[in-house]
Amino acid sequence: MTTPQVEAFLEMMAVERDASPHTLSAYGRDLADAEAALPEGLLQADESAIEAWYVGLGARGLSAATQARRRASIRQFYRFALGEGWRTDDPSRRLDAPKQGRSLPRTLSRDEIEGLLAAAAARDGAGGLRLVALVELAYASGLRVSELLGLRVEAVRRDPAFLIVRGKGGKERLAPLNASARDAVKTWLIARDAARPEKAPDSPWLFPSASAKGHLTPRRFAQLLDQSALDAGIDPARVSPHVLRHAFATHLLEGGADLRVVQTLLGHADIATTQIYTHVATDRLAQVVRDKHPLAKDG
């Protein structure tokens, strides 16, 4: 149950900080967890109670990233509570951020990407053509899943070599389309238009569906990828829409692309976010040397 104070905090975050619905939902879950776990509730809890709750997050098996987010949520709330005069102190002030290890992004090999595409192409009807277009677009351009599924049909009607994408923070960037992706989109458009009932208004979305937003959802795309992974003999746990974006970046760096170029194509504000892909690419190249170099072989 959300308290009036938490509701006021979330309203402030929405109005004054322009927080996204996803961020507001995360704050709400974090604060609800603390409210339920603290015997005296958020407004009456002292430092020892807050610290005990925070230590307990690790004991419950929550990841360092989740712990860090919950720490940020509760600290933001208490800053707001101080400003509103609900409290005269900040019981979260001594919470230390958890140490987070570097987690490398999951990715797929070029052969596995080809396998996914072959499995998608083997599906009957327009569904297979749609899935091929989705995978080709994601892998060719490095689009985030929200950017991919939110593409408007008029953006591709004229067979562009680049898409203008509005990413995080409303920043625009160019996303490239190779010949394979453009062919897949053209084939999908033919099937898409043929499936529209006569005289029915056209959907504005490239990948329309009956969902509340009118276009394919990330969950449904992930389900389709899971089935294609199984068909291709790939563990579905290794495949997701975001993994296609990882593969795009990793394979570019393996091919010698400049890190700054990859940063621009991915829409990363900070190059440090992009640099993690260099570790994946380096690991892959080291494995190639171990497997293929004659002096690296035993005996």
Kind and range of the H or E run holding 165: strand 162-166
Concerning whether 144 is annotated as a catalytic residue, the answer is yes
Q: Which of 70, 71, 130, 144 is catalytic?
A: 144
Tokens for 240, please give them: 């997701």
Q: Which of 79, 123, 242, 284 is catalytic?
A: 242
Q: Which of 192, 245, 246, 251 is catalytic?
A: 245
Concerning whether 268 is annotated as a catalytic residue, the answer is yes
Concerning whether 251 is annotated as a catalytic residue, the answer is no
Tell me if 280 sits within 8 A of 105, measured CB to CB: yes
| Closest-CA residue to 222 (of 125, 114, 138) | 138
According to DSSP, residue 86 is labeled S
How far is the C-alpha of 91 from the C-alpha of 48, rounded, in Å? 8
| Closest-CA residue to 242 (of 262, 261, 221) | 221
How far is the C-alpha of 168 from the C-alpha of 286, rounded, in Å? 34
Concerning whether 168 is annotated as a catalytic residue, the answer is yes
Tallying the residues shown for the chain, one arrives at: 299
SS3 225: helix
Q: Is the four-CA dihedral 196, 178, 152, 144 of positive or negative sign?
A: positive
Q: Which of 70, 182, 192, 268 is catalytic?
A: 268
- Look up tokens 């149950």; give the residue: 1
Tell me if 205 sits within 8 A of 156, measured CB to CB: no
Q: Which of 168, 171, 219, 238 is catalytic?
A: 168
Concerning whether 213 is annotated as a catalytic residue, the answer is no
What Cα–Cα distance (Å) separates residue 105 from each residue in 224, 242, 247? 21, 9, 9
Tokens for 217, please give them: 């959802």
- Look up tokens 């610290």; give the residue: 51
Concerning whether 130 is annotated as a catalytic residue, the answer is no
Active site residues: 144, 168, 242, 245, 268, 277
